[in-house]
Amino acid sequence: MTRTEFMHKLRQVFAPSDFKCLSCGAELFERTAFCAECMKDVSFNNGKTCKRCGVAIDGEEDYCGNCAFDKTYFDRAYSVFNYDGNVRKAILQMKFANLGSIAHGFAPYLAFLSVKQNLQYDLVTFAPMSAKSRKVRHYNQAQLLAAEFCDILGVQKLLTETVVKIRETPAQEKLSRSDRKTNLVGSYRIKPDVNVKGKHILLIDDVKTTGATINECAKVLKRAGAARVEALTVASRKEDFNYENEQE
């Protein structure tokens, strides 16, 4: 069995081809993530967004607090949904309830957004997991999303594992904003057999909160010579950031 055939079978196990609502499980007759009723509790990230990380923001600023005050290694990031309601529930199930098939429902939205934004890239990659976490979960949901994304757009040959996670870290969801920013520092490295020099990289992940994961991955890729790193996530969490407190 070739690696391509193996990956196809793996996706069939975790991402079967029948379409069901990611929230209530109702049968769907088109490739959407949610039924009409559950879609009422879905929030698209199509309002005002940060010009760097793409998170939903209010007020007159062009950048969220993280991008305004922190060092950012990725060049641009985009998210389809806001991380709340049925989208949040589905992502948590995909990550922690052994429901990798949920990636099958989200991937078309990632593909649509990349086309809408006219994203150009030489390689498609994904946020890595530690070996211990992958053994527990049996799959990397970011990899499933990236593989399905490439299948939809017909760019399977561009899918490349570029970054590996070399140490276990506490889950980002359980940490404070300040701890999330430092939790992942030094936990990634570039794969020794991968050449990203001069390339434009598209990094795919499930959710972006403070952006620490994609930023650390982008730092490793940039230090290895990548010319540009853009990120695409299913959802992002709107940050509750106080500019006045940060400037004190």
Q: Residue 204's domain is classified under what CATH number?
A: 3.40.50
In a domain, residue 1? The reply is: no
- 235 phi, psi to nearest 5 deg: -145, 160
In a domain, residue 27? The reply is: no
pLDDT score for 11: 47
In a domain, residue 12? The reply is: no
> Residue 245 CA to chain centroid, in angstroms?
29
Enter the pTM of the model: 0.85
Domain enclosing residue 157, as ranges: 42-241
In a domain, residue 36? The reply is: no
Tokens 């909160």: give the residue. 209
Tokens 């970054």: give the residue. 163
Let me know: does 204 contact 233? Beta carbons within 8 Å: yes
In a domain, residue 14? The reply is: no
pLDDT score for 247: 42
Q: Rounded to 5 degrees, what angle do the CA atoms 235, 133, 201 make?
A: 50
pLDDT score for 145: 97
pLDDT score for 54: 96
The total of structural domains in the chain comes to: 1
pLDDT of the chain along its 248 residues, tens only?
Answer: 455 554 544 444 444 446 789 999 998 877 778 999 999 999 999 999 999 999 999 888 899 988 888 889 999 999 999 999 999 999 999 998 889 999 999 999 999 999 999 999 999 999 999 888 888 888 999 999 999 999 999 999 999 999 999 877 656 565 566 666 665 666 789 999 999 999 999 999 999 988 889 999 999 999 999 999 999 999 999 866 554 444 43
pLDDT score for 53: 95
pLDDT score for 136: 85
- 26 phi, psi to nearest 5 deg: -65, 145
In a domain, residue 73? The reply is: yes
In a domain, residue 248? The reply is: no
Long-range contacts of 112-117 (CB under 8 A, 24+ apart): 112/80, 113/78, 113/80, 113/232, 114/78, 114/149, 114/153, 114/202, 114/232, 115/153, 117/78
pLDDT score for 246: 44
